[in-house]
Amino acid sequence: MQEILKRAYSYASDYLDQGIVADYIPELGKEDRNNLAGVLIDKDKEIYKIGLHDYKFSIQSISKIAIYLCVLETCGFEEIKRYVGVKPTSKPFNSIIELELSNKRIPVNPFINAGAIVCTSLLQKKYGKDTFDVILNKLMLLTDNENLDYSNSIFNSEKKTSYANRALANLMLSHNIISRELDIDEFLDSYFKSCSVMVSTLDLAKMSYALSEDGINYSGKSVLSFENARIIRTLMATCGTYDYSGEFAMRIGVPAKSGVGGGIVTAFINKFGLATYCPGLDSHGNSYCGMRFLNSVSDDLNLKIY
């Protein structure tokens, strides 16, 4: 296993100068695109690590898994379908035109910004000021790490420059998809805090392990139902890397969810935990070298499921 990780690391390292670090959230622009990491957990819970595996970065869109899970557990799939679909997207993760053109103007899926924002608003209606804590708690259970917290500087940086997300939220308020009883700043704060939660690649590999093991986390606790684990893996496969999801499925061949912080978490069925980190991104917002790292591992371990 360690040899396989070494090979993947060396292959991905050749592309370190290709990725572009996201700077539309200014604080993210400070990351070094030469930081690369990978962690694999095998069926016997043996952990294999390479690179900066304990370096902490912001989870960004990977938090959308926890947000959707919390809504699934609160409202159930049939109810949520009135607010957010499960269709793949052909547009960037923060697209406004997609929201305008979509059926009943509801976000096409929960793994793009509009979808996660409407899900956060549903949680805000139910949990009020505790909303972020509910999401954070779910992330702690998934990663099996009770010490997770968000970065105040990344949260403030995103909040200050959240023009596009505010536009999406306002559009959904104007179409009555988000309840007007809610305060836009309050539910957006919960969303931005969720995106600013700091995780390591090891945390994400443990999250991958829980999703792969049908909801049983690394220390053996049941943290989501079998059925919801199946729903999340399906969404990861079809929507997890935004408008690149089709090509990602073809090239890398495993369900995955990325974030603009540079993390990618994968999922399997009763097999592994696998995650990677490198903050240089491709034009879709997915880690450039992270994808190459995963491609090498999935080739060597014959993981492609399609």
Site residues for ligand GLN, 156-175, by CB under 6 A, read 158, 165
Q: Which residue carries 């893996």 as its tokens?
A: 233
The distance from CA 248 to its chain's CA centroid, rounded to whole angstroms, is 15
- Compute φ and ψ for 156, nearest 5 degrees: -65, -40
Site residues for ligand GLN, 204-243, by CB under 6 A, read none
Please report whether residue 151 would count as binding ligand GLN according to CB under 6 A. no
DSSP 29: G
Residue number, nearest CB to ligand GLN: 61
- Compute φ and ψ for 8, nearest 5 degrees: -65, -40
Count of residues engaged in binding ligand GLN, rule: CB under 6 A: 11
Q: Closest approach of Cβ 190 to ligand GLN, in Å?
A: 12
Beta strands in the chain (DSSP E): 20-21, 37-41, 47-51, 57-58, 198-199, 256-258, 263-266, 273-277, 280-281
* Burial classification of residue 306, based on how many CB atoms lie within 10 Å of its CB (0-12 exposed, 13-18 middle, 19 or more buried): exposed
CA nearest 5: which of 304, 301, 303? 301
Q: How far is CA 210 from CA 49, 198, 221, 277, in A?
A: 18, 18, 9, 18
Q: Closest approach of Cβ 92 to ligand GLN, in Å?
A: 9
Please report whether residue 35 would count as binding ligand GLN according to CB under 6 A. no
The residue among 244 and 268 lying less far from ligand GLN, judged by its C-beta, is 244
Please report whether residue 272 would count as binding ligand GLN according to CB under 6 A. no
Please report whether residue 121 would count as binding ligand GLN according to CB under 6 A. no
State both tokens at 102.
């979509």
Q: Closest approach of Cβ 285 to ligand GLN, in Å?
A: 5
Write the binding mask 41 to 60 for ligand GLN: x where contact by CB under 6 A, - elsewhere: -------------------x
Q: How far is CA 252 from CA 59, 266, 293, in A?
A: 21, 10, 10
Q: Closest approach of Cβ 11 to ligand GLN, in Å?
A: 24
The residue among 38 and 259 lying less far from ligand GLN, judged by its C-beta, is 259
Q: Which of 169, 182, 224, 260 binds ligand GLN (CB under 6 A)?
A: 260
Q: Which of 233, 285, 294, 296 binds ligand GLN (CB under 6 A)?
A: 285
State both tokens at 288.
């450039």
Instruction: Please give the residue ranges that form the binding site for ligand GLN (CB under 6 A).
Output: 60-61, 93-94, 113, 158, 165, 195, 259-260, 285
